[in-house]
Amino acid sequence: MMQHFLTTESLSKDQLTTILDAAESFYNIDGGHVKKVPLLRGKTIVNLFFEASTRTRTTFELAAKRLSADVLNININASATVKGESLLDTLRNIEAMNVDMFVIRHQDSGAAEFISKHVAPGISVINAGDGRHAHPTQAMLDVFTIRRIKDNFENLKVAIVGDLLHSRVARSQIHALRTLGTQDIRVIAPNTLLPACVETLGVQAFQNMEEGLDNVDIIIMLRLQKERMQGALLPSEHEYFNLFGLTPERLALAAKDATVMHPGPINRGVEISSEVADGIQSVILQQVSNGIAVRMAIMSILAGSE
């Protein structure tokens, strides 16, 4: 089985499906709330966050508690690295406390993988976002959300819209969708926010919403980091919304039963209009609920408890 969960890129279709099935099992038979189970009782999970993110940390903390694990939150800025200790020494020290799993958030790409290569045998590492590289639990909850709505991945048309250049989510989504069989993945962004050679990921690039959204089944909006505005990459929020904001008119270009997704937090009136965000085709809040089930699935699979 898996020991770490670092990227969606490294996983087979079977492994992705195992995670999605496990997430499904945490829902009640009636499809309702995700309830507490004793699967990880006695296990210790450490949220090791080198980059503050209350939202992400909360979802992992809650997933761990729903599995009955003990959780330690360690914000590493406020901790031992201040005293000049190296990252590996900090890690060794925490793992010596007999912990079972690290959830790592770090501003540098590759940090979770680096840590996974140095932890003691038997300890698992989950990547909760590393630099611009990957945010695989977010991508898994996105494909889980899609699977709960659509029949299959093969015939789907998916558009990912927004700041692909800085998005660790988008890379992880594209890899997961490709592995699950989705052929038609489109990315839509202004030229300045498209990575070079984005087509090598197996996607088709558009710089125009009207073309890109044509008849798609899934629209995944990315969050626009407002700090990008300060640079020369974007003219203004208003202009961005005019060109790339998801409005009811543009949504009408997609398939009739198209689904709107967003990882949150949303910027209303910047990348998405309130009518669409709160509309009947939006599953933005279901994504949050699904995120708990998916993180529980990943944690329990890594712990070998499934």
> Which residues sit at the interface with a second copy, rule CB under 8 A?
33-36, 41-42, 44, 52, 54-55, 58-59, 61-62, 65-66, 70, 72, 74-75, 78-80, 83-86, 89-90, 92-94, 96-99, 226, 264-268, 285-289, 291-292
- Give the residue with the Cβ less far from a second copy, 25 or 98: 98
Closest among 200, 225, 129 to 169, alpha carbons compared: 129
Question: At closest approach, how far in Å is the CB of 226 from a second copy?
Answer: 6
Question: At closest approach, how far in Å is the CB of 13 from a second copy?
Answer: 28
**Cα torsion for 148, 149, 155, 160, to the nearest 10°?**
-100
**How many whole angstroms separate alpha carbon 43 and alpha carbon 235?**
49
- Give the residue with the Cβ less far from a second copy, 202 or 304: 304
Question: At closest approach, how far in Å is the CB of 267 from a second copy?
Answer: 6
Question: At closest approach, how far in Å is the CB of 288 from a second copy?
Answer: 4
The amino acid at 191:
N
- Give the residue with the Cβ less far from a second copy, 204 or 289: 289
**What spatial distance separates the first Cα and last Cα of the chain, rounded to whole Å?**
10
Contacts of 50 (CB under 8 A, 6+ apart): 76, 77, 104, 105, 106, 107, 111
- Give the residue with the Cβ less far from a second copy, 13 or 55: 55
> Where do runs of H (alpha helix) occur along the chain?
13-25, 54-66, 87-95, 111-118, 136-149, 168-179, 209-212, 237-244, 248-251, 274-277, 284-302
- Give the residue with the Cβ less far from a second copy, 13 or 226: 226
Question: At closest approach, how far in Å is the CB of 49 from a second copy?
Answer: 12
- Give the residue with the Cβ less far from a second copy, 13 or 36: 36
Question: At closest approach, how far in Å is the CB of 155 from a second copy?
Answer: 29
> Do 128 and 60 meet the contact criterion of CB atoms below 8 Å apart?
yes
**How many whole angstroms separate alpha carbon 18 and alpha carbon 280?**
30
3-class DSSP state for residue 117? helix
